Structure 1
Amino acid sequence: MTLTAYMVSAAALVSTQAPAPAGAEAARSPFVERLRMLAQLQSLNADLLSRDSATAVLQTLCARRDPNAPPIRARRLVVTANPEQLAEVRRELGAAPDEPVIHRRVELLCGAEILSRADNWYLPSRLTAGMNHTLNTTDTPFGVAVQALRFQRRTLTSRLLFTPLPTGWETRVAADFDLASPPPADVLEHRAVLQTPDGHRFSMLVEVYTNQIFTR
């Protein structure tokens, strides 16, 4: 079901219920809270699917919370080598057997909040020397560092890791959702490749978005 359909169904369901409590009580309703998280999750997923830069999507989300927020930054994490993953990356990117592949794992932060974790395998030979220097020496997000390539994002898979409301919820009464549904640590996963406008792939990504993407 599309986000628009979800919201139409929600409106129809709410209209059939008894009048909702006003003010703070309504804001504390578990059903309203679940619906709010569902809308935010579907909106983020749609934005990621329609944009070439995940960093730009997260920057927009961060700026909505605080117009004076600093740029999204990438905090480097230690990476454990995985030969099977590397073989998959080489196939996906069309890399030669002896072509160097760099694995960069980061947390993308809005202030102190971790919005996502990303594993990024990329081919340094397909980037400029300046881009490689930036990636090796700074906390600049990958999408920002390589933006001069005018890259395009091709999503391979998009998977919800959290469903605030189950399938068929729109046919049930709001009272069925009186229990809170706290989100897990991770709520959304994307796998994607980045390529230049002429179709040359240079990066494969696995991104996991955390429950910090939800506004309070």
Structure 2
Amino acid sequence: MSLRKAGLTGFFLLSMAPSPSFAETAAHLGRALQAEPSATKVLQAYCARLAPGVPVTAIALPSDDRPPPTVLRERFALRQDETIRVRHVSLRCGIIVLSDAWNWYIPQRLTADMNRQLETTNTPFGRVVSGLGFARHAISSETEALPAGVFLRNTAMLTRSADGLPFSLVVENYQSAGFEALPPL
């Protein structure tokens, strides 16, 4: 039975020792992300341990109009009337940075309200698109040869549950400093 089906999505948060090695943290976080389609939900469970009642927020960072990775164009099957937008954010629990995330998405595959929220609020992508009942498909997970301060990089495709159509590619860089802040049980 998966962690998600067992209702234990946040299990990795409760089972972590006060100062786990980053290899152990990456393994726990990776399993939680596989069990839950929304990285936002996983980070919110972690944030609840750090600062109960504080929501995870997405603080906009410069995107410099970074082009989408090649894998996105290959897997999205874009129609001529569809475009790709990029959203680069720092996902935070209060002032603690948990993740630097890049998100390329197709606005035409989201609702008008979802697009408005993504453009005008600090609401994390996963929370904004939760109404789609989406699935997360892991593409890669890396723990070696990463930039300083990053202990895990995950790349995943998000698809709509109703029709399986991909609508987003995310590249998440989980920050060591944010995960060192885990309080003892």
Query: Which of 147, 154, 163 is equivalent to 2:130?
Result: 147
Q: Which residue matches 1:53?
A: 38
- In 1, Cα distance between the equivalents of 2:170 and 2:80? 20
Residues 1:110 and 2:93 aligned together: yes
Kindly provide the amino acid, as one letter, of the partner of residue 94 in structure 2.
Answer: G
Secondary structure of the residue aligned to 1:106 is strand
Residue 199 of structure 1, CA deviation: 0.9
Query: Which of 65, 75, 85 is equivalent to 2:59?
Result: 75
Q: Is the 8 A contact 1:162 1:188 kept in 2?
A: no
Residue 55 of structure 1, CA deviation: 0.6
Query: Which of 96, 110, 118 is equivalent to 1:127?
Result: 110
In the TM superposition, what whole-angstrom CA distance separates every residue of 1:121-141 from its partner, at most 9, and x where no partner exists?
A: 101101111111111110000
Percentage of pairs with the same residue: 36
- In 2, Cα distance between the equivalents of 1:162 and 1:101? 28
Of 154-163 and 101-110, deviating more is 154-163
Q: Is the 8 A contact 2:137 2:158 kept in 1?
A: yes
- In 1, Cα distance between the equivalents of 2:59 and 2:131? 22
Kindly provide the amino acid, as one letter, of the partner of residue 204 in structure 1.
Answer: L
Q: Is the 8 A contact 1:162 1:187 kept in 2?
A: no
Kindly provide the amino acid, as one letter, of the partner of residue 59 in structure 1.
Answer: Q
Secondary structure of the residue aligned to 1:74 is strand
Kindly provide the amino acid, as one letter, of the partner of residue 89 in structure 1.
Answer: L
Of 38-47 and 187-196, deviating more is 38-47
If you compute each CA radius of gyration, which structure gives the higher value, 1 or 2?
Answer: 1
Q: CA 1:191–1:37 in structure 2 vs 1: closer, same or farther (change >3 Å)?
A: closer
Residue 98 of structure 1, CA deviation: 4.8
Q: CA 1:162–1:45 in structure 2 vs 1: closer, same or farther (change >3 Å)?
A: farther
Residue 41 of structure 1, CA deviation: 2.5
- In 2, Cα distance between the equivalents of 1:109 and 1:99? 31
Kindly provide the amino acid, as one letter, of the partner of residue 206 in structure 1.
Answer: V
- In 2, Cα distance between the equivalents of 1:97 and 1:156? 25
Kindly provide the amino acid, as one letter, of the partner of residue 67 in structure 1.
Answer: P
The structure with more helix, counted as a fraction of residues: 1
Q: Is the 8 A contact 2:22 2:151 kept in 1?
A: no
Q: CA 1:112–1:152 in structure 2 vs 1: closer, same or farther (change >3 Å)?
A: same
Q: Which residue matches 1:193?
A: 157
Q: CA 1:82–1:111 in structure 2 vs 1: closer, same or farther (change >3 Å)?
A: closer
List aligned pairs for 1:1-20, cutoff 5 A.
Answer: none
What 5-or-longer segments of structure 2 have no aligned partner? Answer: 1-17
Residue 112 of structure 1, CA deviation: 0.3
Q: CA RMSD in A?
A: 2.3
- In 1, Cα distance between the equivalents of 2:66 and 2:119? 20
Runs of at least 4 residues off by over 6 Å: none
Q: CA 1:162–1:67 in structure 2 vs 1: closer, same or farther (change >3 Å)?
A: farther
In the TM superposition, what whole-angstrom CA distance separates every residue of 1:159-185 from its partner, at most 9, and x where no partner exists?
A: 11389xxxxxxxxxxxxxxxxxxxx41
